[in-house]
Chain A
Amino acid sequence: MTEVDAVTAIYPPLLVFATALLVLVLPRIVGFALGAASLATVTVIAYVAPEGGHMTMTFLGFDVQPYLVDEYTRFVAIGLGFLGTFAVVYAYSSETSRAMAAFALAYVASAFGAVFAGDWLVLVFMWEIMAVTSTLLVWHFGGDAVRAGYRYALAHGIGGSLVLFGVIAHYAQAGTFLYGQGVGLEQAFITGGIATGIPAMLAVLGIGVNVAFIGFHTWLPDTYPRPHLAASVFLAAFTTKTSAYVLLRAFPDGHIWLAYMGGLMAVYGAGFALLQHDMRALLSYHIQAQLGYMVAGIGIGSAIGIAGAMGHLFNNVLYKSLLFMAVGVVIYRTRENDLYKLGGLWREMPLTALAFFIGALSITAVPGFSGFISKGMLFDAATGYFGGTEHWPLFVLLFIGGIGTFLSFIKLGFYVFFHGESDHEVRDAKTGQTTAMLSVGGACVVLGLPAVGWPLFTDLIPIIDGTQFTDPEGLQTLNPYSMGHLQDAALLLGISAIAFPIIRKPLSKLDFRDPATYVNPVGYRLGRWSMLAVTEVFAAVDRAAVSLVRTCYWVGNNPVRAVGSVATRVPDTVVESDAFETREGKSTSTLSLRATIGMTVLFVTVVLTSVLLLVL
């Protein structure tokens, strides 16, 4: 076996799934260690595996390619694998049960399955499994999480079905499930693309549920704050980011509507994040905002847009999970979800505060942190810095989203870690939690360092080679620490720093519901009525069927009465109705249906005659 074979001999999702099963039976520490090790292995495999499809087979009679490695899958898998490793460490020290870890690993395995998929069929398959496993992960916590998980399952069930129908329609047009075949998008940066027309329509709606398009996003802030705090870390990283990657696969050329949807998502998500009291709800709205940036990049569809979206995806996996970890530690120690009831915690838990601020500075794209690099690329894509179309309205939206992000993280950090003295006397994060947070945080810092750090990061990003990439304008060189970018960052910071003291007071009094949450009651009513309608129709059919069977039984048990009831309706002249007088209390009355011998011979004659007449 050559070296290459050895690397690709293991199908990563299977490895992770096997570990998920082992976690259930092994002692807790061994199981979790294995879980972390398996994810680390997947990261390494993703890094070294050669490009190409490593498993070609037929599934349900179709050609499929469940294990595809290219620049994109490699990149996404490295990000998810790295984060997953530390998320398991975090989960271990956050006292998660073995069962929950097993669900989480199964969920991670399915997300990897979706990432490594090389065709739409496997993708849909994994997509559905991902929906199921993530629902189980939410449900496992019990309590409030059950109802939210139910709504989550509904949303993903609908989204998954749309994707499924989209993929089937794609097959009908393209004649194959394999990525990039039969759709005529050979020029795109990424092999993929879904057939235009109905397939694309269905796919964008289905994927839109998972990447939290405005209006389709209610499940996100509804679900993510509710389960176990370690479960939130997993959820925050895997579903939405995998889906953003799949959106790119489906629409490699982008679409201007997608771009503006992304811009609106950034504003909407950041705006509602600003209004939240629950810390994890705030972070959840930020997932939507951050996804907005990625969707915008994908929608623009230029080289820098896609690279920026992918880079942002990678960063988001890291810092959003880091933020969930840090907030999780706060909740773990204080048992408090509402940020207005906290304060001054930086003295109590300095390490957690450090981790939080690394995450916050990354997400707000402060120079020196990784978010700055990728957000800068997205701004460049919107402004047409490297040539291509200029989308100034989009840039404004993204910029406003950036301000909202700044404001909400100032709010979160201020109220949790500063703002007076702490009422809580709590210890800092546990060792495992600290390790996880600082490892992930370290990556956020290193990948954003001026001069030395960021080229490492950009080299990993697909399309970009080192710090350079080729687009229709020719060879381009990235320069994230240019004056323009620094000015943008300073402007963002400046506006936010001035605005926050002004809006702080009114903000704390606001408790404004997301208008989209009205989707839930409306959906509930609609579902209830349609359910009632269906059950009533079914009940009617059932009653009819049962009464038919009862009638048959009755006829079987009372043949004479049955004949009698028919006969009495015939005019008296034809039948002597007296013969069928019902004899009450004698249900066993008999009626001879038996043909006599003579009658049978008559039948024989009739049949023979008619057959002869017909044949001759």
Chain B
Amino acid sequence: MEIIQNTAPHLRKPNASVVRMMRDVVIALSPLVVLAIINHGLTAVWIMLAAVISMALTEYVYYQIHDAIHRNREGMENLFDQLAKLKKELKEAEQQDQKDTLKKQIAEIKQAISEKKRESKREENKKFHPINKNFTLYNYSILVSGVIYGLTIPDATPLAIVIIGGVVAVILVKLIFGGMGQNIFNIAAFGRAFIALSFGGAVAVANHVDATSNATVLGELVAAPFSETGYSLTTMFTGIGLPGTIGEVSAMLILVGGIYLFLRKSFDVFIPLVYVGTVFVLAVATMLVTDAGWWFPLTHLLSGGLLFGAVYMATDPITAPVTRPGRIYFAFGLGLITYVIRLFGAYPEGVVFAILIMNIFVPAIDFPKWSHTQFNWKRAIIFTAVILLSITAVMIGAESLAGGLNG
């Protein structure tokens, strides 16, 4: 029996683990996946497979190369240095017997290296570890990114574009920053925005036989901000038969997933609440200054990727601030930017842009000089002032926009 020393605390919380958190997100996403397959059939299957496999395979290949470069020399730097030195001497040596001895030494060192490699491999096989420690399929992280990315894609998007988006997003956002936990942008949001901006028209919704038009709810809203869309609120809530991206359309199932994640405490419920709340309040404020009815805020709430983005993308802890006030500021910023892009911008992808823009501000929100874990009176007053100011600005903007459209 041997006594070993660990540092305190010697207890750990039993069911707190990254695997559990990520697996919960996958479970919460599964009804959406099922609905996507019911709504779109094989198209949805192909898009989702393309998204997940492109991301996972990119990461796998990257880490195979990465490990091949790094693992080979681990703990053997000494031997490699000696080998290089001897090889240099061999080149400079003139006499035959000197060359022979050097060659002999080189052979010995090479043998030592190969022996050590074999030994370390044996050691590695003994220890418990996931097949490739850095490859994050074991903790569902890459699966989550892939499924979320797949669900945000409209059904008529060519598979090649889906694959390009996945590969680029994983390499540019995740891998070159150092893998899991290091990315500064949400991977899925980046992939979605990347294909939207690069391929424009190709990322589109297909013609549906039973639908009156091929425009999404949000597409109609962006084209004509204050006229009612052709879909009833019930359709938008259930999401059955609604054109749009393959997985974002059902508010009902997203709420079910959100409630599951909340009960399992696998996300911070403040982010989606504040995010959706901000959009709703701004939409109500707009409603007050234009002659739109209650359908206007409700349509904004239920359409597009707002609920999906709020529940699954904005809550990605890696790209959110770490403190509760920070997360509330972050979610408020998301709501404001989403709404401004929707109302005044040309793209319907307000949610992914808002998420990417607010991701940039996360390090600023978390900056040690002013980040804080509790509200106090001063902060609350300033934050309230900012909220009121943004509501006023949106109201003024909306009024002039409505005036311009009418006149």
- The answer to whether A and B interact is no
